[in-house]
Structure 1
Amino acid sequence: MIAAVVLPLAAQAPAQAAPDVATGTSAWTPEIYPLFSGEFVWRDVTSAERDDTLKTCAWASGIACVSVGQGDGRHSVFHLFKCDTRSLSNFIDALAVLNNQTGGAQVQFWGPTYYRYMPASSNTIYTVPDHVTYDFNRLDIC
């Protein structure tokens, strides 16, 4: 006769590390699609480094740099220059833009309810309230 041993479910489950509450448990990955050849994104930029990273990103003329929160206290900074309309996903909070494009090109965000544009300025970092950022689903730089 074979005896069956029944363990409580908790005893059968593999061990898992407790979530790190200090870094947040609801992080997300912001995306801009498409990113064209030569465009790129820096991930995991700290809040303390965000403005300096935007300034470094937009150092050259003709560049628009967009930073958005990742939900874990860090930011994704996008280096963009191709004039086109793009789709956004996971744009939820902490949006900041430094637009160093030339020829009067603007960075424009829009969604079902809100619209914002940021004119070219080599030294102005524009910020957007979170409830407005959350509405955005499109971006145009041109």
Structure 2
Amino acid sequence: MIAALVLPLAAQAPAQAAPNVAAGPTAWTPGVSPLFTGAGEFVTRNVSSADRDNALRLCSVASGIACVSVGQGDGRHSVFHLFRCETRSLSNFINALAVRNNQTGGARVHFWGPRYNHYIPADGVIHLIPDEATYDFNRLDLC
């Protein structure tokens, strides 16, 4: 008896379209903490992939600067302008990591996490880091 009532009600229910969910990439916001904004450090967000390398070069024109660019998941990048010798925590470093180190005195940029370590020499060259290492990194040291 119950089955007879359920079937006709289900058959009479109007069809509903699936929710309209916009397709597209998921974005995230990479972070470096602490970021010494009072001392002149800053981040530039939403840099296009086409402009990333140029942004890294412009960032590190002055000696003593390390510039770190990381993907935001939407085809754009965050470029961090860093110079203070400190250990930092990283958040949402997932892909497309590129670094240009123009620090003085041979200071290296050191990224590390539970499984990977990577050192960037002070050579003014843009270094690209594999995504599997980038995702693992949770710390950054500038000196």
TM-score w.r.t. the length of structure 2 is 0.83
Q: 1:82: how far off?
A: 0.1
What are the within-5 Å matches in structure 2 for residues 6-25 of structure 1? 18-19=21-22, 21=24, 24=25
What are the within-5 Å matches in structure 2 for residues 53-64 of structure 1? 53-64=55-66
Q: 1:19: how far off?
A: 2.3
| Matched position secondary structure for 1:48 | helix
Q: Distance in 2 between matches of 1:20 and 1:55?
A: 34
Please name the residue that 1:132 is paired with: 133
Partner AA of 1:97 in structure 2: V
Partner AA of 2:105 in structure 1: G
Q: Would you tell me which structure has more helix in proportion to its own residues?
A: 2
Partner AA of 2:22 in structure 1: P
Q: 1:121: how far off?
A: 1.1
| Matched position secondary structure for 1:50 | helix
- CA shift digits 1:7-35 (9 cap, x unpaired): x9x8xxxxx985252xx2x1000000000
Please name the residue that 1:3 is paired with: none
Q: Distance in 1 between matches of 2:135 and 2:79?
A: 17
Unaligned segments of structure 2, at least 5 residues = 1-13
Q: Distance in 2 between matches of 1:60 and 1:17?
A: 49
Q: Distance in 1 between matches of 2:67 and 2:22?
A: 32
Percent identity between matched residues is: 66
| Matched position secondary structure for 2:127 | strand
Q: Distance in 2 between matches of 1:18 and 1:49?
A: 30
Q: Distance in 2 between matches of 1:35 and 1:19?
A: 34
Q: Distance in 1 between matches of 2:112 and 2:49?
A: 24
Q: Distance in 2 between matches of 1:58 and 1:64?
A: 6
Q: Between Structure 1 and Structure 2, how many residues are aligned? A: 126
Q: Distance in 2 between matches of 1:72 and 1:114?
A: 25
Match of 1:80 among 79, 82, 91: 82
Please name the residue that 2:11 is paired with: none
Q: Distance in 2 between matches of 1:107 and 1:17?
A: 45
What are the within-5 Å matches in structure 2 for residues 85-100 of structure 1? 85-100=87-102
Task: Indicate the RMSD between aligned Cα atoms, in angstroms.
Answer: 1.7
| Matched position secondary structure for 1:134 | helix
CA separation of 1:17/1:97 partners in 2, compared to 1, >3 Å: closer, same or farther?
same
Please name the residue that 1:35 is paired with: 35
Please name the residue that 1:5 is paired with: none
Q: Find the structure with the greater CA-based Rg.
A: 2
Unaligned segments of structure 1, at least 5 residues = 1-7, 11-15
